[in-house]
Chains A and B, each alone.
Chain A
Amino acid sequence: MRKTFQAIMLVLFSGLLFANNLAFARLKYDGGNWDTRVTAWGEIADFLVSISNVRAVREPLAISPESPELFNYPVVFMTGDAAFFEWKPAVIERLKKYFDAGGILIIDDSAGVKNSAFAGSVKRELAKIFPNEPLERINESNAIFLSFFLMPKVCGIRQAAPYLEGVERGGQLSVIFSENDMFGAWEKDKLGNWLKDCSPGGEAQRLEAQKLCVNVIMYAMVGTYKLDAIHTDYIRQKMNNLNMKIPGQAK
């Protein structure tokens, strides 16, 4: 039933999806569970539209890496909480092309634990796609931590890793990987109540997770915009005023 509804919505909104708006294209893969955060996407879209000028489509869609549609979406989201099957060489080649063309993959581990089976599968496949560009911790001076909110704390509804990881190519992140179940912080039931508790930080942690999530998406839309000199001077000044540690500088 849900799938039929999604299909109808997809047809109705196809014009919008094909335009330049942010669409939550989720990578559909075999094995494991690719659709872990069903209700999060509409919430994220609503939030982005309410606080920023981002044009986001509420209805998520599933995209197979082998689908010709993949290249219509410069940002693709991937979630999961279990190990998944190895990707075929054709899928690896296709994703290589996708990243070469400028695509960005945002991966969030819904298991919310360090070194989960999902994370293992992700790292296994990324090593095939980027044999010479390992998944590395994203430095805190990266534009991703400045793209909208000022240095949000790295967390999700869990705090499995206090950092994001990524694959950087040509000065831009092609892959952003969170192990903290960042998208879990957006899930609501039909009555509008949060579905998942945040631990150990409670609701304050949820806000940080949501801010980080906005930053990640904003980065995927505007790249390293916030590293332009005109912004960094201002941000540096703001951080000084707030007595915050400026990344890369001894305080």
Chain B
Amino acid sequence: MKFEAGIIALAGAALALLSALYVYSKADRKRVLLTALRVAAYILIVFALLKPSLDRTITLKRRTAVAVVADLSKSMGLKKPEDKAALLKAAIKEKAVPLAGVFDVSWYAFSGTARKTSLEDLLTSPRLAGDSTDIAEAISSAGKGLEKDKPGAKKALVIISDGNSNGLLDPVAAAKQAGMPVYTLGVGPLMKGVDVAVRSIAAGELGFTGMRSTVAVNLSGANASGKTVRVALKADGIEIGNKEAVLQDDGLETVVKFEITPKETGLVRYRAEVKPLPGEEDISNNSADCEVRVLKDKVRILYLSGHPNYEYRFLRQVLKTNPNYEMVSFIMLRGIKNLMPFPEDQLTLIPFPVTELFTRDLPQFDIVILESFPYSEYMTPDMLNGLARLVTERGGALLMIGGDQSFGIGGYAATPLADLLPVTLEGPLERYDTAPYKMVPELHPLNSLSYSRDGDALLWKSMAELSDINVAASSKPGAAVLGRHPFLKSKSGEFAPVLAAWQKGRGRVIACMTGSTWRWAMGTGQETSSGLYARYWQGLFNWLSGVPDVKQVKIAADKKSYLKNEPVRLSISVLDEHYRYENSASVALLVSDPNGRKAREVCALSGNGIYECSVSGDVSGKYSFEASVYKEGKELGKDSCTAEVTGSRSEETDLYLNETLLSEIAEKSGGEYLNAASGKALLLKLDPETEEIVSRTRKTLWDSPVLLLLSALILCGEWYIRRTNGML
């Protein structure tokens, strides 16, 4: 029963009535009676206004639900150095079973997803054969199971495991998200002997021939602090270096760095191996691998600019800050028409070595940039032919940048370079317009500045206006136009191309019809766009130099290593011969497992130019995937990648208890960790029972007809007394 203000008011009214009766017995009875009746009426009205009610609550006591989740993975069945199965049974019996007397305990077993089982099964015939120890998944699935079976009850999880989690997700994060405390009970021997492990080997995914880069090997040790180990680095099985390292304290990583200088292009597999320490039992973790795709060394660029200008300054900054580029540049600071009132020895100008460049040195360059360059003042027709051959026959690249000495207006229409360009030039009277405009980008991979089309649209919208354009007669058939003028039209009727690219013979050519892309770097003051500017040009230079991220066919796995039977998601991006997204190709995937067995899969289109396929590996080791892309019977290209399936390896080698992880899981979720070997009991800091309100009723006292009638009677009685006694 619950009393509210109305009840207090009722008590007050009763008290007032009694007081009135007492006064009535002592004084002028009629007057006192009238006063009492009036007071009583007021009290009743006040009582009604306070809306008193009578509450009734029924509660139920509910036992706290606990899920005991036992690890039945393979590693729990290892017999050495101690019989973990026996330790597991003992832990369940001695530490978990007593909980059943206090809490409402459910029994679960896990390797991956936790499934419900019985105590009897866990104690008599546990199948310790799980391929993985996915503690994160176990926490999540057991938590959900408990929620379903015991709604409303307070809950907790008890994980009994060796803590050697090898699932995909972070168990600590899963514990944090469980919404209930996770207690952990550690089973298994602690590392007593020495151990050294190669935790990781890190190198850049790309390397370049002749260029030094670093491979970092991370080592960790157990009971091996201060011990010296020898680390060997192998490239495709051949030792290329070795170093000694002194191991730091347990839990701390020791980093050993090797400098590598790849000599040949291709995929190189590096392996770091540590010689086992005397008495080391587990040598399975003494090595680790990584792969580096080695490309040819620096891209050599020849940049010729017709006059000092900002386009040169900003592009120079992009090229000079990239260590993969080596640039030789010449700006025509002075022309033959310029006067010079100062002696030559006061100038730093050097003669332009055009003959050496275009006869002797040209084959050394991968990309030639001509930016508003007046070729007729310096170059002979033979030199131009040589440049054309560099592109079409030797696989070089040409980038022509706009300006008042470029393209048609620069006289290039009558040269062999006109044929190389992806736009048709007009003659010397070609229009060169200097009114500001915003380039309209076309949907093309080279225009990708972010990871999504919406992101690209926003970024392009933020780019500043350009301020000049050489208006070509048209773009050539087969050219990929990357951007156009918003309203200025070419003679062909199309919006004038601002940027166009294509493959010409063995080489690649970009026509940048403007010399004001530096404005993208300067931006508009709203957002600094220099990052976008550099990224965009980087992409164009990568394409010109044939760096693999703009290959026509490119395959990638979503991760580098997988657990057994875990889906390996492969995505294949496909561009047509003009480097536009290709959506109507057929993509075949050849899967080779570690035993050499081959299988074919077909990939389906999932997005613009992206085809996907999912396979799973049931054998440990390296899988190879080769994608072959065809369109109308013609091969567009091939690409391959590898992925490691390592599912069961750690289950067979994880001998020892990982107390660190189990403690962290418990700590972060509000639970506690206990080593099952300790003599302590597993105490859950939870109330065994919680009270739960199952029903609540409320009876209102103020809206009763009796109350209304009583009030009316009192007022009428008072009126009657006054009337009969002439007191009105």
Residues in chain A within 8 A of chain B (CB atoms): 15-16, 18-20, 50-55, 68, 70-72, 74, 94, 97-98, 100-103, 146-150, 170-172, 207, 211, 218, 220-226, 228, 230-231, 234-235, 238, 241-242
Contact = CB atoms under 8 A, between A and B. Distances in A.
Given A74-B522, A149-B347, 17 more contacts: A15-B434, A20-B310, A20-B311, A51-B339, A53-B338, A71-B523, A101-B523, A103-B522, A147-B348, A220-B313, A221-B312, A222-B313, A222-B316, A223-B312, A224-B316, A230-B350, A234-B350
B340 interface: yes
Contacts of A20: 309-311, 403, 467-468, 515-516, 518
A148 B349 contact: yes
A52 B338 contact: yes
Contacts of A19: 434, 467-468, 516
Contact of B435 (A15, A101, A234): A15
Interface in B337-352: 338-342, 345-350
B476 interface: no
B436 interface: yes
A72 to B, nearest CB: 7
A150 B347 contact: yes
27 contacts: A15-B435, A16-B434, A18-B435, A19-B516, A20-B468, A51-B339, A51-B342, A52-B334, A53-B334, A53-B338, A71-B519, A94-B525, A102-B530, A148-B347, A149-B346, A149-B347, A150-B346, A150-B347, A170-B321, A221-B313, A222-B312, A222-B333, A224-B320, A225-B316, A230-B328, A230-B350, A241-B345
B358 to A, nearest CB: 15
- Interface size on B, as a range, is 35 or more
A210 B309 CA distance: 20
A101 B521 contact: yes
Interface in B146-188: none
A72 B516 CA distance: 10
Contacts of A70: 525
A55 B348 contact: no
Most central of B320, B332, B341 by chain A CB within 10 Å:
B320
Contacts of A223: 312-313, 316-317
Most buried by B among A70, A97, A235: A97
B73 to A, nearest CB: 53
Interface in B520-562: 521-525, 528-530
Interface of B: 306-314, 316-317, 320-321, 327-329, 331-335, 338-342, 345-350, 403, 434-436, 464, 467-468, 515-516, 518-519, 521-525, 528-530
A216 B467 CA distance: 25
A221 B342 contact: no
B391 to A, nearest CB: 23
Contacts of B350: 230-231, 234-235
Contacts of A50: 338-339
Contacts of B333: 52-53, 148, 218, 222
Nearest to B516: A20
Nearest to B436: A18
A139 B403 CA distance: 34
Contacts of A226: 348
Please provide the 7 A-B residue pairs with the shortest distance between their CB atoms, ordered closest to farther. Answer: A53-B307, A221-B308, A19-B434, A234-B350, A15-B434, A223-B313, A71-B522
Contacts of B464: 71
Nearest to B349: A148
The B interface, classified by DSSP as helix, strand, loop or mixed, is: loop
Contacts of A101: 521-523, 528-530
B309 to A, nearest CB: 5
Nearest to A235: B348
Given A72-B522, A94-B525, A102-B521, A238 B345 contact: yes
Given A53-B332, A218-B308, A74 B348 contact: no
Given A19-B467, A20-B516, A51-B339, A222 B308 contact: yes
A172 B525 contact: no
A169 B309 CA distance: 20
Nearest to A67: B525
A146 B334 CA distance: 15
A148 to B, nearest CB: 6
Given A53-B335, A71-B523, A18 B467 contact: yes
Contacts of B346: 149-150, 211
Contacts of B521: 101-102
A43 B335 CA distance: 20
Contacts of B306: 53
A103 B334 CA distance: 24
Contacts of B515: 20
Contacts of A218: 308, 333
Given A20-B403, A74-B522, A148-B348, A51 B341 contact: yes
Contact of B338 (A51, A150, A171, A222): A51
Contacts of A94: 525
Given A20-B310, A218-B308, A228-B329, A51 B434 contact: no
Contacts of B314: 74, 102
A161 to B, nearest CB: 22
Nearest to A103: B522
A62 B468 CA distance: 23
B185 to A, nearest CB: 53
A142 to B, nearest CB: 13
A97 B142 CA distance: 53
A18 B529 contact: no
A6 to B, nearest CB: 20
Contacts of A222: 308, 312-313, 316, 331, 333
A223 to B, nearest CB: 5
A241 B350 CA distance: 15
Nearest to A229: B328
Given A19-B467, A71-B464, A231-B350, A55 B307 contact: yes
Nearest to A73: B522
| A223, A231, A234 interface centre (most CB from chain B within 10 Å) | A223
A146 B333 CA distance: 12
Contacts of B516: 19-20
> B310, B434, B516: which has the most chain A beta carbons within 10 Å?
B310
A54 B333 CA distance: 7
Nearest to A99: B528
A74 B309 CA distance: 10
A57 B227 CA distance: 72
Nearest to A74: B310
A30 B523 CA distance: 25
B522 A150 contact: no
